[in-house]
Every structure is written in C-alpha cells, then in structure tokens.
Amino acid sequence: MNTTLITLTLSLALSQTDTGFTLEPGFKLLLNGKDLTGWRYKDGPAFDGKTNSSDGRYSAKDGKIIVNPGKGLAQMWTVQEFPTDFHLKLEFRAEVNADSGIFLRKPQLQCRDYLVAGPYKDLKKYKAQDWNEIEVIVKGKVATCTCNGEELKFPNELPMTGPIGLEADRGQMEYRRIRIKELK
C-alpha cells in the first residue's frame, strides 16, 4: 500500500470521528482515530489493533488517545523513530491539575493544565479544560515549542533520533489530531 493511500485511509478514519479537521499537506497522522496502532510501551509489543494499553492507562476512542488516571508513571511511545527534522502538531485537553508530557526523541515537554499545574502559568491563550494546540519544530538537536502560538521554553538538547511519546502521570488528559511532517 502506498503512502498516499495510507494517508487517505487514515484521514477518512479520522474524519468519521473528528468532523471539521483536515490533515495539512505533507503531514501524516500518528493516531489512526480508532485504536493504538503504532504505539507501545518501551521495549514492549506494539498495541496494534488494540483500543487499550495492557494496563489501561491509555485508550483510544473517537479519534483521541485518552490518558487515564492510575498509579505511577506510564510512558507510551511511537514504534517509529524520527531521525530527521520534523514539525509535530497535536491538540490536548487537560482536566483540572492534570499532569502529562510529550516526549521528543526522549526529552520531555511538560503538557499539563498549565495555569494550575505549571510550569507555563503565564500563558494568555491557554484554554483551561478545553482543546489547546501544541506545535513543535525540531531542527537538529533543538526543539521550538508553542501552545496556541505562545512560546514554551524548552532548553533540552535532543538526541538525533528517537520516538515521540506521551506520559501518564496525574489526572486525565486527551490528545487528538497528532500529526507529523518531516522537514527537508
């Protein structure tokens, strides 16, 4: 199956549960809209075809990945690694005081109910308990990150390759429209 057909198929699957969203040219989805295909726990088997992770901390429903509350940390990673520069976009919704994270080739960008849980408590465009968009542009070992267009300071140096990941820590988080574009 060629890449265009795969992208079209994923776009159709997503559009059935996420009306009003159109995948931008050059981007590919990291979430197929119906299950956790393409994701796994570190060194574990892929969750392909499954709607829940082995411990239930992550589930896929209605075009979203839901990070469910539980005990301890859980980190879910893409099976695919990203050795090139890329542009990552996703939307997230955090319940009050929820704490999660987005891993960029391993280092973590905090993704939380920012105004309560920090560390970005001064964001003016953050919408509490509503959908917010994070954009990350990775060039070499440097990531430039924004939430709804406002800068998120991210001083960590990235390795030259690695997967994208999500963290389950505290409270419920939802992620949708997770997409990536390789930059040349």
Compute the distance between CA of residue 120 and CA of residue 112 in angstroms, rounded to an integer. Answer: 9
Indicate the domain borders of the chain: 3-182
50 CB burial (10 A radius; 0-12, 13-18, 19+)? middle
Which residue type occupies 74?
A
pLDDT digits (tens, 9 = 90+) for 22-67: 999 999 999 999 999 999 999 899 999 999 999 999 999 999 999 9
User: What topology is assigned to 3-182 in CATH?
Assistant: Jelly Rolls (2.60.120)
Question: Token digits for 8?
Answer: 């079209």
Tokens of 179: 């997409």
88-135: per-residue pLDDT in tens?
999 999 999 999 999 999 999 999 999 999 999 999 999 999 999 999
